[in-house]
């Protein structure tokens, strides 16, 4: 085993039920016939009720969704070659599936002494001239892929965009302004400030040339695992009135940090500044509250519907109808 891997699915606790909320086309879970609408009775031998009890103990109530979802990362992420066992309820009955993790799609990204991550981006055009971009981390390698996605969507006729940062733990803070520049033509706008002992940095939006911009309505989708730079991206665009935000509240984990190697080889992560939104308020411990709450529900997942994405796309289409 070695290197980042995944089995091509995401798990979330939805109304006290473990559910498959995303299946990557062509991945191990997809090839095994798993569907978004299927409940998971157990993961790696842990029954749902026992797992929830073990995770919830001593956790602040507002952080329960985040801690529950984070604990599931050990199931749906891991090393290439790792085997995950899911017990799934299907129309035919209970089924146990063993999934071998494959090397994660995307480019392996490393910044400083942080563990390597696989950085990936997906984009598509949906009816109504709306482009959808979903990516998993704010790493430098995402920049060119994001630009290429915007150019491609614009060439296909996209006039509005939905940016999905659900499950995105963040990354390099200045990337937020770089990516936001694909939707903002006005200069000197700031998503917020990074303030430390010897630091006061405006996170400026860096407008791209017209050919690399979609200047129409912008929606951002967030959830309990959208953290750090994802929160600055969403809070900044929301606070400036440049985007409407959908999904579920973020945890408010937005303290820039660095990793230092200790003499014994251990690594220590240190916070070196605070992040403030356009309103001057800290993002830490507050997080981002969506303009339109659209968490996963059993009813929607049972029909194979991504409620937050559907709401964001519907809003973008209606906003375009009102655009001269």
124 and 272 part of one domain: yes
Same-domain check for residues 132 and 191? yes
Q: Is the pLDDT of residue 314 over 80?
A: yes
Same-domain status, 25 and 118 = no
At 99-111, the pLDDT tens digits run 999 988 888 877 7
More confident site: 39 or 51: 39
Region 208-230: mean pLDDT is 97
Question: In whole angstroms, what is the distance from residue 96 CA to residue 89 CA?
Answer: 9
Residue 263 predicted with pLDDT over 90:
yes
CA-wise closest residue to 162 among 128, 138, 186, 202: 128
Ramachandran assignment for 51, one of left (phi > 0), alpha (psi -120 to 50 degrees), beta (any other) = alpha
Distance of alpha carbon 274 from alpha carbon 255, whole angstroms: 5
pLDDT > 90 fraction of the chain, expressed in percent and rounded: 72
Residues in contact with 269: Cβ distance below 8 Å, sequence separation at least 6, in sequence order: 257, 258, 259
pLDDT of residue 1: 59
Do 67 and 174 belong to one domain? no
pLDDT by residue (tens digit) across 121-147?
A: 999 999 999 999 999 999 999 999 999
Percent pLDDT > 70 in the chain is 99
CATH of the domain at 272: 3.90.226.10
- Same-domain pairing of 83 and 161: no
Predicted confidence band of residue 290 (pLDDT cuts 50, 70, 90)? very high
My answer on whether 46 and 130 are in the same domain is no
Q: Is the pLDDT of residue 236 over 90?
A: yes
Among candidate residues 61, 85, 103, the one where a domain is terminated: 103
**Strand (E) positions, 197-296?**
199-204, 218-222, 244-247, 257-261, 267-271, 273-276, 292-293
Residue 168: domain span? 107-322
Q: What is the pLDDT of residues 165-179, one digit of tens each?
A: 999 999 999 999 999
The model carries a pTM of 0.94
Average pLDDT of the chain, as a whole number? 92
**Are 252 and 165 within one domain?**
yes
CA nearest 81: which of 66, 95, 100, 62?
Answer: 100
What end-to-end distance do the CA atoms of the chain give, in Å?
A: 55
What value does the CA radius of gyration of the chain take, rounded to a whole number of Å? 20
Rounded CA-CA distance 161/166 in Å is: 15
Give, in order, the Cα–Cα distances in Å from 71 to each of 5, 27, 187.
17, 22, 41
Kindly state the average pLDDT of the residues 29-42. Answer: 92
Same structural domain, 308 and 295: yes
Q: Bridge-partner residues for 270, per DSSP?
A: 258
CA distance 250 to 169: 10
Q: Is the same domain home to 127 and 70?
A: no
54/134 same-domain check? no
CA 210 to chain centre: 27
Give the whole-angstrom CA distance, residue 180 versus residue 184.
7
Distance CA 158, CA 188 (A): 26
pLDDT at 2 (0 to 100):
66
Give 184-210 pLDDT, tens digit per residue.
999 999 999 999 988 899 999 999 999
Joined together, the tokens standing for residue 194 give 């990074």
Instruction: With beta carbons less than 8 A apart as the criterion, state whether 174 and 147 touch.
Output: no
Residues 79 and 170 in one domain: no
Residues 72 and 121 in one domain: no
Q: Cα-Cα-Cα-Cα dihedral of 274, 277, 282, 284, to 10°?
A: -80
């Amino acid at each position: 085993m070695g290197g980042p891997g995944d089995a091509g699915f995401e798990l979330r606790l939805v109304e006290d039920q473990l559910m498959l909320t995303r299946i990557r086309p062509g991945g191990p879970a997809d090839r095994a016939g798993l569907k978004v609408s299927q409940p998971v009775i157990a993961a790696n031998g842990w029954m749902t009720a026992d797992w929830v009890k073990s995770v919830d103990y001593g956790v602040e109530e507002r952080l329960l969704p985040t801690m529950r979802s984070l604990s599931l990362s050990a199931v749906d992420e891991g090393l290439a070659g790792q085997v995950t066992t899911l017990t799934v309820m299907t129309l035919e009955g209970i089924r146990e599936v063993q999934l071998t993790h494959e090397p994660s799609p995307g480019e392996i990204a490393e910044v400083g002494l942080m563990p390597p991550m696989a950085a990936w981006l997906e984009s598509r055009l949906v009816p109504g001239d709306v482009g959808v971009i979903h990516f998993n981390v704010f790493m430098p390698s995402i920049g060119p892929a994001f630009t290429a996605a915007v150019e491609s969507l614009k060439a296909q006729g996209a006039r509005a965009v939905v940016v999905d940062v659900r499950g995105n733990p963040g990354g390099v803070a200045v990337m937020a302004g770089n990516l936001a520049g694909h939707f903002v033509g006005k200069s000197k706008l700031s998503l917020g400030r990074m303030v430390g002992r010897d630091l006061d940095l405006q996170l400026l939006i860096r407008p791209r040339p017209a050919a690399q911009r979609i200047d129409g309505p912008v929606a951002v989708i967030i959830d309990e695992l959208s953290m750090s730079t994802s929160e600055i991206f969403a809070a900044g665009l929301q606070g400036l009135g440049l985007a409407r935000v959908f999904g579920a509240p973020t945890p408010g984990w937005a303290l820039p940090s660095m990793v230092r190697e200790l003499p014994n080889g251990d690594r220590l992560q240190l916070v070196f500044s605070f992040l403030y939104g356009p309103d001057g308020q800290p993002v830490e411990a507050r997080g981002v509250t969506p303009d339109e709450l659209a968490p996963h529900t059993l009813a929607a997942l049972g029909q194979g519907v991504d409620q937050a994405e559907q709401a964001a796309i519907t809003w973008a289409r209606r906003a375009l109808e009102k655009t001269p």
